[in-house]
Amino acid sequence: MTTRRTLFALVGVGLLVTACASAPTGPAQPPIVFVHGNGDSASIWQSTVWRFEANGWPRERLHAIDLPYPLARDEDGKPQPGRTSTAEHMAFLKAEVEKVMKATGASQVVLVANSRGGYAVRNYIQNGGGDKTVSHAVLGGVPNHGVWAVKGFREANEFSGTGPFLTALNAAKNAAGDEVSSPVKWLTIRSDNNDKFAQPDGLWIGAKGTPTNVSFDGPALKGAQNLVLPRVDHRETAFSPAAFDATWRFITGQAPKTTAIPPQGQPVLNGKITGLGLSSTDPASGNYSNNLPLPGAQIEVYATDPATGERRGAAVHRKTVGTDGLWGPFTAQADVPHEFVVSAPGYATTHIYRSPLPRGSDLIHLRAERPAAADKDGKSIVTFTRPRGYFDAERDRMAFDGKALPGVPPTGAGVSSSKIKLMEDGVRPISAEFNGERITGRTWPSSDNRLVVLELTY
């Protein structure tokens, strides 16, 4: 893998990624389609979309897609409830691109992907006609040479570097041995050594001490521009300010005006309420992620006190969602944190606390949750989650209820949520902090079938 071209390692957001002279700028801004990773949803692109908007990209030309069943199959060719094959993933992306092109009248789009989403992008460009409809492809943290590459080990899984899917994608496209299809322009973004899915050791796939035969540069591709960002984790290769800076420069050939997210006075929020699948044909599979709307779910939104998490008066928004799952629109109070309460039959009442949201968005997706069997003896169950990155105890300043985060290892970035099972009665404030973002919620009792989520935005 050392023969793949790595441009340079860069610190912070002062990036210099050179794109071709024909890169679109000004009124020629093409639609951008954002493709999430394994088990994720369109909401994960929320802050990236805000950064594009802050730099003048029209909101109507920024499209984050929701794969209905975002998890990969254990064996790509074997149907599995609630999961998608590589062929289904590619077909969905192809259909979404065609919708975007029809709606905008554009002849080409830009594709920006994280993790598994990059597999669909590569498959579409190589095998689905995307070589004609895509101008630029940006792949953040995509395990292009597998999460493991061990002959005879789970080679039917799409994440196997020696399996048929990746072997075909990585086959040489020309005499130079390039792994990417032309005429599309390609950028890969990877971590220097902190991506849990680009590790020589199998620690993060449950095989500590076993070689994966994948190195830190596994996401790089011969024939692409390959960029290294120091210390970023698997998700930050796509969702960090540095990743945005690199993506903007690659698409436009220019530096962005800002990597910050300037606030709007009264942000209008909307999104989809989703749930969890429970397979009746395969009970052993348990709950699985999906991005399907949850019709009939109810939402209440409360402004909260930033110090105590207590509600400031009555609900400021209520709705029973329809077949589209949309819970808004809702005009938020500027600089005020909110509690989003989601309830639906078969689920716990889920209290989701967020710090003030700076801009309007249609990507504020909310998921109804179910309690884990191991937590049923707790008096209150509180989860602290960071959707757009992982927790790194050596790198980040963070605390959960005034202590270190349970379940976060002392080294490496491989955990994006932390859970506290409180054994005390009563309701009290509970806070979580991460690199300057602070969220305070309340310890609602699990005996009332309630769960609490403190969700980071950045």
Q: Is 116 left (phi over 0), alpha (psi -120 to 50) or beta?
A: alpha
Q: In this prediction, what percent of the chain has a pLDDT beyond 90? A: 90
Instruction: Kindly report, residue by residue over 170-217, the tens digit of the pLDDT.
Output: 999 999 999 999 999 999 999 999 999 999 999 999 999 999 999 999
CA atoms within 13 A on the CB side of 299: 29
Question: 272 and 248 in one domain?
Answer: no
- Tell me what pLDDT residue 123 has: 98
The alpha carbon of 184 is separated from its chain's Cα centroid by a whole number of angstroms, namely 24
Cα–Cα distance between 275 and 238 in angstroms, integer?
Answer: 25
**Same domain for 292 and 244:** no
Q: Which of 228, 252, 276 is the last residue of a domain?
A: 252
Is 259 among the domain residues? no
- What number of other Cβ atoms are within 10 A of residue 263's Cβ? 14
Domain match, 276 and 246 both: no
In a domain, 304, yes or no: yes
Residue 117, CA distances (Å) to 34, 228, 241 in order: 9, 19, 19
List, for the chain, all residue ranges whose pLDDT scores fall below the cut of 70: 1-27, 278-287
Q: Is 2 within the bounds of a domain?
A: no
CATH number, position 130 = 3.40.50.1820
Domain identity same for 193 and 311: no
pLDDT of residue 28: 73
Structural domain span for residue 449: 268-455
pLDDT of residue 278: 58
The token pair that represents 255 in the structure block: 């530096």
Residue 340 CA, chain-centre distance (Å), reads 20
Residues 221 and 143 in one domain: yes
pLDDT score at 191: 98
Integer Cα distance of 162 and 151 in angstroms: 6
Model confidence, pTM: 0.94
Q: What is the pLDDT of residues 1-50, one digit of tens each?
A: 433 433 333 433 344 444 443 345 445 799 999 999 999 999 999 999 99
* Residues in contact with 155: Cβ distance below 8 Å, sequence separation at least 6, in sequence order: 162, 163, 164
pLDDT for residue 287: 67
Q: How far apart are CA 156 and CA 175, in angstroms?
A: 29
Same structural domain for residues 170 and 138? yes
224, 252, 280 - which closes a domain: 252
* 3 assigned to some structural domain: no
252, 284, 304 - which closes a domain: 252
- pLDDT at position 98 is 98
d(CA 158, CA 163): 7
